[in-house]
Amino acid sequence: MKYSLTKDILKRFECSKIIEIEHYKDVFSRANQDFYLQKQSPKLILAVKQNNLIYKGAEVCEDFGNKYFYYTSIMMNCIYDCEYCYLQGMYTSANIVIFVNIDDYFKEIRELLKKHPVYLCISYDTDLLAFEGLTNYVGRFIEFAKVNRDLTIEIRTKSANFTSIKDLEPQDNVILAWTLSPDGVIEKYEHRTPSLKRRIEAIKNAVDKGWRVRLCFDPILYIKDWREDYKTLVEEVFSIIDGEKIIDVSIGLFRVSKDYLKRMRKQRPNSIVLNYPYDTIEGVCSYDRELGKEMIEYVYSLIKSYVDREKIYI
Ligand code: SF4
């Protein structure tokens, strides 16, 4: 047990049954697992990730104008259970994997930084801030960014757990990015996530402490009364958060690869969100062009009353 995080985590789960495995993929990547069933009581897998620790950013993800856009998955899967989450289509297991060799990630990032600046999203295939009490990974990355100034990191979250990093010094090259949805969407489709009120409180605290904060209205869903619900959301957010203090905003429709959606529908055959008749363009499923345009333009028109247009990414 050469990794200190392994020891720390095992101490937290002294009553748990520990099963040693050869390679995490032997368990995690098996075929014919029931993602949805595992999601009800996910198990924790501690592993060491070898090779390819940093990936090029995907086309479907907003790069916010960064030329050298990368992401990394130091954890796989999430404690939250959003009905529209693409992880259900990407992984065969809902068990949570934590890669304990964070120093190897730092080493690979340092190598990349020798070539050019790096914009790195560290919380795509999980919600890293939600796990901060267990891993301290957000704190470790922030400390790493503090001494590697050509690195910019984005930490995306739905968590209200800002308190876990509140004592750290805000860094110019760290972006805390909160995903926001109308209350009705949170209740119906973002199972186990903090309420909108708690997310807004966390954002307010972060902004007041001087952190650079990004707001992500993404994915926008075509729900009944979507106009009213997104209007209420935007008004509620900016009644508490000063739009001028936000570094930028992203707006995005629900979109997912065709192959993932097929698997997601299998996991949740009764999901209204997943079984909507999406259009497929170049292998990506989303709302048809006209409806999508209408939804984006509408939400954009709401947000531009509070945030400069050049800071809104679509
Ligand atoms: S918070 Fe993000 S990663 Fe977690 S279940 Fe929801 S969509 Fe998936």
Q: From the CA of 193, give the closest atom in ligand 1.
A: 1
Q: From the CA of 125, give the closest atom in ligand 1.
A: 3
Average pLDDT over residues 29-57: 92
For domain 4-313, give its CATH number from 3.80.30.30, 3.50.50.60, 3.40.50.2300, 3.10.20.440. Answer: 3.80.30.30
CA 39, CA 86: separation in Å to the nearest integer? 14
Using alpha carbons, select from 78, 40, 244, 242 the residue that is nearest to residue 159.
78
CA 47, CA 49: separation in Å to the nearest integer? 6
CA distances from 98 to 101, 133, 134 (A): 9, 13, 10
Q: From the CA of 158, give the closest atom in ligand 1.
A: 1
Using alpha carbons, select from 306, 276, 274, 304 the residue that is nearest to residue 291.
276
* Other beta carbons less than 10 A from residue 5's beta carbon: 18
Measured in angstroms, how far is the CA atom of residue 254 from the centroid of ligand 1? 13
Using alpha carbons, select from 186, 250, 189 the residue that is nearest to residue 218.
250
Query: Are the C-beta atoms of 260 and 90 separated by less than 8 Å?
Result: yes
In the predicted structure, residue 63 carries a pLDDT above the cut 90? no
pLDDT in tens, 106-152: 999 999 999 999 999 999 899 999 999 999 999 999 999 999 999 99
pLDDT confidence of residue 19: 93
pLDDT confidence of residue 251: 97
Using alpha carbons, select from 37, 46, 50, 35 the residue that is nearest to residue 12.
46
pLDDT confidence of residue 58: 81
Phi/psi at 288 (nearest 5 deg)? -65, 155
* Residues with a CB atom less than 6 Å from ligand 1: 78, 80-82, 85, 87, 126-127, 158
User: With pLDDT > 90 as the criterion, what percentage of the chain qualifies?
Assistant: 91
Measured in angstroms, how far is the CA atom of residue 115 from the centroid of ligand 1? 32
Measured in angstroms, how far is the CA atom of residue 120 from the centroid of ligand 1? 18
| Residues 261-284 as b or e (16 or more Cβ within 10 Å = b) | bebbeebbeeeebbeeebeeeeeb
CA atoms within 13 A on the CB side of 32: 0
Using alpha carbons, select from 250, 249, 171, 255 the residue that is nearest to residue 206.
171
Beta bridge partners of 212: 175
Measured in angstroms, how far is the CA atom of residue 103 from the centroid of ligand 1? 25
CA 285, CA 262: separation in Å to the nearest integer? 10
In the predicted structure, residue 9 carries a pLDDT above the cut 80? yes
Q: Where are the alpha helices (DSSP H) in 74-170?
A: 87-90, 102-113, 132-135, 137-147
In the predicted structure, residue 5 carries a pLDDT above the cut 90? yes
CA 63, CA 205: separation in Å to the nearest integer? 26
Q: From the CA of 80, give the closest atom in ligand 1.
A: 5
Q: From the CA of 156, give the closest atom in ligand 1.
A: 2
pLDDT confidence of residue 64: 85
Mean pLDDT over the full length of the chain: 95
Measured in angstroms, how far is the CA atom of residue 232 from the centroid of ligand 1? 23
pLDDT in tens, 223-268: 999 999 999 999 999 999 999 999 999 999 999 999 999 999 999 9
- Give the domain ranges of the chain: 4-313
Measured in angstroms, how far is the CA atom of residue 127 from the centroid of ligand 1? 7
In the predicted structure, residue 25 carries a pLDDT above the cut 80? yes
In testing the pocket of ligand 1, which one of 87, 90, 195 has its CB within 8 Å of the most ligand atoms?
87
The residue whose CA is least distant from atom 7 of ligand 1 is: 85
Angle at 127 between CA 122 and CA 130, to 5 degrees: 120
CA 235, CA 132: separation in Å to the nearest integer? 30
Q: From the CA of 190, give the closest atom in ligand 1.
A: 6
